[in-house]
Amino acid sequence: GQSLEQPSEVTAVEGAIVQINCTYQTSGFYGLSWYQQHDGGAPTFLSYNALDGLEETGRFSSFLSRSDSYGYLLLQELQMKDSASYFCAVSPNSGAGSYQLTFGKGTKLSVIP
Amino acid sequence: DVKVTQSSRYLVKRTGEKVFLECVQDMDHENMFWYRQDPGLGLRLIYFSYDVKMKEKGDIPEGYSVSREKKERFSLILESASTNQTSMYLCASTGDHEQFFGPGTRLTVL
């Protein structure tokens, strides 16, 4: 089976940096993704890591260590609009099912002034 | 602008009714997915399809079936709705590792 662990809630101050960790135990591993979801909205894609290391996209970065079964999402220069839930997700399969995702339960980030 | 649409934003049904949730994507994606989202449980995969007429069970397929007769359309069917199927249902499609989600259907089964 698959399991992903991430903190349920995180609070951070506007302008600060926050890191949301994700550890996973899966029967197979193809890549780690991150999604953002605002209250009442649909999840939107943030990043995908298939290889070890850091991927940077603007204020957001995502890191993966395959040997540690661990990744994180780093949000810099936090803004109020970053208040949302963040989900890590694992692609456990290759081939035709490689785009299937198993999601973590999500981390609710609250950005305070 | 890429788009995934779902037939209803809100739906109220009675226990035992047959329920159809429709999803359409305009991106010519081969892969489509149905999830349900419940507070504290994240998104759980019900079924997915990687080609027309192909379907695969996800993590929680019990009580659901799906249909994919055309590439752009993926339907979720609740054969006999039950109160524990009250949830937010999200459809998604992808051509690579980025999944595009529809706005969701909030289904209430009374």
Tokens of B19: 């329920």
Give me the residue from A8, A43, A100 closest to B101, CB to CB: A43
Query: CB-based contacts of A99: which residues, under 8 Å, 6+ apart?
Result: A91, B31, B50, B94, B96, B97, B99
> In angstroms, rounded to a whole number, what is the distance separating the alpha carbons of residues B107 and A46?
27
Per-residue pLDDT of B6-61, as tens digits, reads 999 999 999 999 999 999 999 999 999 999 999 989 999 999 999 898 999 999 99
pLDDT band at A29 (very low <50, low <70, confident <90, very high): confident
CA gap B94, A54 in Å, rounded: 23
Contact list, A94 vs chain B (CB under 8 Å): none
CB contact under 8 A, B42 and A91: no
Beta strand pairing status for A84-91 and A44-49?
unpaired
- pLDDT band, residue A95 (cuts 50/70/90): low
Closest partner CB to B97 (pick from A31, A41, A44): A31
Q: Which residues of A touch B98 (CB under 8 A)?
A: 33, 45, 48
- The pLDDT value recorded for residue B2 is 65
In the three-class reduction of DSSP (H, G, I as helix; E, B as strand; rest coil), residue A41 is classed as coil
| Ranges A6-10, A12-16, B49-53, B79-83: which has the least confidence | B49-53
Which two three-digit tokens encode residue A31? 């890549």
Taking phi over 0 as left and psi of -120 to 50 as alpha, with beta for the rest, A77 belongs to left
